[in-house]
Amino acid sequence: MKYTFKIFIIAFFVLIGFNSFNANAQRPMHEIHSMLIFNFIKYIEWPAETKSGDFVIAVYGDDDVYEQLSNLYGQRQVKGQNAEIINVSDVSSIKNAHIIYLASNKSRDFDAIIEKYDTKPTLIITDKSGLGKKGASINFREVGGKLKFEINQATFDNSNLKVSSQLVNMGITI
């Protein structure tokens, strides 16, 4: 009887463990994007003139990504600066951001962002097919049912941002 009960308890916890794993594997896309956006920072070096004041991450078009970044990273230090996560409603309200995340539903404003930030030390991250080739620094893309990201090395060079070879090797270089 005790042996059967022990097997039942072990099986129960194994089953719970597998269910937790499956739940984590199916995280909402805004959580995945938020984690990746913040992790990209580790692999990028901004020029010296951007290392004073707050480290600004502007989110345009995705309230869920904004909330996730704010909740998880809003009180942290980023490269020696306080993180400031801002939710913007239009391109003109974006001021000197270190990172701009442009959600797919606002991709029509991509050209305006590129025009304004093309040569500035701003990491532009997008989530729409084709925007990597058009000038986004990093573009999320689905490949074979998995989320990948494209890296546009020319955009990094043009923006005076240095990207680690480790990040380049993890992404799809375009």
Alpha-carbon dihedral of residues 153, 157, 161, 165, nearest 10 degrees? 40
Rounded Cα distance, 153 and 122, in Å: 14
Q: What is the pLDDT of residue 102?
A: 98
The domain limits of the chain are 28-173
**What is the phi/psi pair of residue 118, to 5°?**
-50, -45
**28-173 maps to CATH 3.40.50:** yes
The two three-digit tokens of residue 123, written as one number: 């990491």
CB atoms within 10 A of CB 163: 22
Residue 25's pLDDT is: 52
Whose CA is closest to 99, among 129, 79, 75?
79
Helix, coil or strand: residue 119? coil
**CB neighbours of residue 49 within 10 Å:** 8
pLDDT digits (tens, 9 = 90+) for 117-147: 989 999 999 999 999 999 999 999 988 889 9
Helix, strand, coil percentages (3-state) for the chain, rounded to 5, are: 50, 25, 25
| Mean pLDDT of the 2-6 span | 43
Average pLDDT score over residue span 21-25: 37
Neighbours of 93 (CB within 10 A): 11
**Whether the predicted pLDDT of 2 surpasses 60:** no
- The pTM of the full predicted model, rounded to 2 decimals, is 0.83
